[in-house]
Amino acid sequence: MIRAGEPVFVDTGAWVAMALSKDPLHVRAVQEWSNLQRSGARLFTSVPIILETFTFIDRNAERSAAITWKDSLDTVPRLRILDVMARDLARVWSYFDRKDLHKLSAVDATTFVLMTSAGIRYAFTFDHHFVSAGFRLIG
């Protein structure tokens, strides 16, 4: 169980699973989201995750679903959106030298840098690259 105030990063897979009722992880994602809300976790996501999620929903559902999802972010309590700075990119590329992170996306590597910089240990995701990178999964 997450403690009140614990920082948790919300990844693309979690946002997509919650937004699309036909996603195979939808029920599980909605339950975990409810748990996070009840726990009082401080939620984080990032500009790249928002862009990736919007694009995925737009391409796999309807544009209106993507816009509804984007607009819903304004109503999420305790959500902070992290920016990516040019100085973060130098640290992103080092993740691609790791053999245990096969098929890693640049967005995931960027997320790892942002999470590390912000001191976030937990990720609401279904992507096991996060475990390999040293983070704890929720989801």
Q: How many domains does the chain have?
A: 1
pTM for this entry: 0.95
* Residue-wise DSSP of 60-109: HS-HHHHHHHHHHGGG-TTEEEEP--HHHHHHHGGGGG-TTSTT--HHHH
Residue 67 falls inside a structural domain: yes
Residue 139's pLDDT band, with cuts at 50, 70 and 90, is confident
Residue 57 falls inside a structural domain: yes
Residue 107 falls inside a structural domain: yes
> Domain of 40: which CATH number?
3.40.50.1010
pLDDT in tens, 23-46: 999 999 999 999 999 999 999 999
- Domain of 52 in residue numbering reads as 7-138
Residue 1 falls inside a structural domain: no
Residue 112 falls inside a structural domain: yes
Residue 2 falls inside a structural domain: no
